[in-house]
Amino acid sequence: MLLSFRFANHRSFRYEQQLNLMKVYDRKNPENLQNDAVRVIGIFGANASGKSNCLQALSYMRRMVTSSDREVEPGLGLVRDPFRLDAACLAEPSRYIVDLTLKNVRYTYGFTLDNERILEEWLYYYPLNRRRRVFERDGDDFVWGEESGKKPDLERIAEITAPTALFMSTVARFSRRRTESDTPDAEPLHSVYRWFFRTRTRSRPGPRLSRHLSMAFPEFEDDRLVIVDLLRAADIGIVDVTLKSPTPIQPPLFADLSDQDLPSETAASTGVPRRLTREAAARSERRIQFAHRGASGKVMLELADESSGTQQLLDLAIDASVVLRLGGTMTVDEIDASLHPLLTAKLIALFQSEKTNPRGSQLIFTSHDAALLGTFDTEEVLRRDEIWFVEKDEEGSSVVYPLTDFKPRKEGENRQRRYLNGNYGGVPDLSFALFERALAGRGDTE
């Protein structure tokens, strides 16, 4: 599980910020507060306050960990996005740090980088609550853990790690070719890498293309049932979702060839007309189909026949089902896009429930929907320690802070109303006088 995420000098965030997922309230097990994290975090704020940038910072860290050894070419520098409202920040390094707990062991991994290279990188873990160093990197110099003796394999990998690549991702690439770890410190490296690999980030609202949704549709029956449950809860008439397997096409033995159906270069070797080749390719793709309640029984509809809201919910459900089964973290920007608040609450509840989320998977999302700060059926959608806000300071730098910074005025406070009234911040400072002046000026020119 993710315990905390710290980052600095990234997009609208100038100074180091921390998204702390440690529980503040646990009525059932108050003694577990020091060792447990919440499973859901909702981030609220005005437009352009930095909500999306907070998730994008974690997405950037994940991309660097999983692909910096392949995507970044030595000598070309690094692609990053520092704070731009202060020219000094363009040359200052950016920093990214996660604190994790994996199989009851805590890990701390992080790195700093500038426009040219990786400046620092480190990994610690805490078996028996004692910190042990796996490695520390300062430029091209590495220091290894004290308790594991010499590490010839890790040292060889460190020697070929490019200045623009993370050691973590370089180790992962070479470890794929090995059947077992050679050093005691390899397991912490692999465990942390697997967490990043399993983390799913969605940086844009709206569903993926139908072809991508069909490819991403899970093979496991338990995952499919999670998807069906969410769609049934939407009360939109869907009773089942299935994946139709491709149906191969056998071309006729003697096909009529016209000028426009002459074999292309790719089809010439098989002798199949171009038209038939296109039809075979179109029908060979897997297709998602929805069973709807109809007047005379079930009616099967294609993905293109469904609304954008249904497609959005399906897309989120596909990612959620995989994360819930494997464990990990899922981030969603504007989770409420095209979704009714009750559906968003249903998706959130899947992660909050120990029954549907036995592996402790986590959901971090942004939203404008103040209804998620309230209650549905007398139950809170989000607890106090699951709610965060983002707003900008006077210098234009984003700041993230939790609802728990505010003491509740009374039991059962109306968080939705207090948020919209600006008591927690994170709302736009609208000037109706400017609107009126702009409209009045437009009228003068007509």
Count of the separate structural domains present in the chain? 2
> pTM above the 0.85 mark?
no
Do 191 and 211 lie in one domain? The reply is: no
Do 77 and 211 lie in one domain? The reply is: no
Do 285 and 393 lie in one domain? The reply is: no
Using the 3D structure, point to which of 311, 326, 341 is the last residue of a domain.
Answer: 326
Do 11 and 160 lie in one domain? The reply is: yes
Work out the widest C-alpha separation in the chain, in whole angstroms: 82
Q: Tell me how far apart the alpha carbons of residues 83 and 53 are, in angstroms, rounded to a whole number.
A: 11
Using the 3D structure, point to which of 263, 291, 326 is the last residue of a domain.
Answer: 326
263 in a structural domain: no
261 in a structural domain: no
Measured in whole angstroms, the distance separating CA 361 from the mean position of its chain's CA atoms is 12
Do 139 and 229 lie in one domain? The reply is: no
Do 85 and 7 lie in one domain? The reply is: yes
322 in a structural domain: yes
Helix, strand or coil, per DSSP, at residue 241:
strand
Instruction: Per residue of the chain (446 residues), give pLDDT as tens.
Output: 999 999 999 999 999 999 999 998 765 555 555 558 999 999 999 888 999 999 999 999 999 999 998 876 667 789 999 999 999 999 999 999 999 999 889 999 999 999 999 999 999 999 888 899 999 999 999 999 875 555 778 889 999 999 999 999 999 887 654 434 444 456 889 999 999 999 988 766 556 666 777 888 888 888 888 888 888 877 778 889 988 876 555 555 445 444 444 444 444 444 455 554 554 444 446 788 899 988 888 899 888 888 877 888 888 888 888 899 888 899 999 988 767 888 888 889 999 999 989 999 999 999 989 999 998 878 899 999 999 999 999 889 999 999 999 887 666 688 888 888 888 887 776 555 665 666 676 655 55
Do 314 and 333 lie in one domain? The reply is: no
Do 349 and 238 lie in one domain? The reply is: no
Q: Which amino acid is at 146?
A: E
Alpha helices in 17-118 (DSSP H): 51-71
Report whether 111 contacts 122 (CB < 8 A): yes
Quick one: which of 149, 142, 133 has its CA closest to 189?
133
268 in a structural domain: no
Helix, strand or coil, per DSSP, at residue 146:
coil
Reported as a single tens digit per residue, the pLDDT across 177-212 is: 443 444 445 688 999 999 999 998 876 655 666 677
258 in a structural domain: no
| CATH number (domain holding residue 316) | 3.40.50.300
What confidence score (pLDDT) does residue 8 get? 97
Report whether 345 contacts 367 (CB < 8 A): no
Do 322 and 400 lie in one domain? The reply is: no
Do 313 and 397 lie in one domain? The reply is: no
Do 126 and 226 lie in one domain? The reply is: no
Measured in whole angstroms, the distance separating CA 136 from the mean position of its chain's CA atoms is 27
Q: Return the ∠ at Cα 344 (arms to 342 and 348), rounded to 5°.
A: 115
230 in a structural domain: yes
| CATH number (domain holding residue 10) | 3.40.50
What range defines the domain where residue 291 resides?
206-247+278-326
DSSP letter for 372, please. Answer: G
Do 396 and 309 lie in one domain? The reply is: no
Using the 3D structure, point to which of 288, 303, 326 is the last residue of a domain.
Answer: 326
362 in a structural domain: yes
Q: Tell me how far apart the alpha carbons of residues 227 and 312 are, in angstroms, rounded to a whole number.
A: 12
- What percentage of the chain exceeds 90 in pLDDT? 41
299 in a structural domain: yes
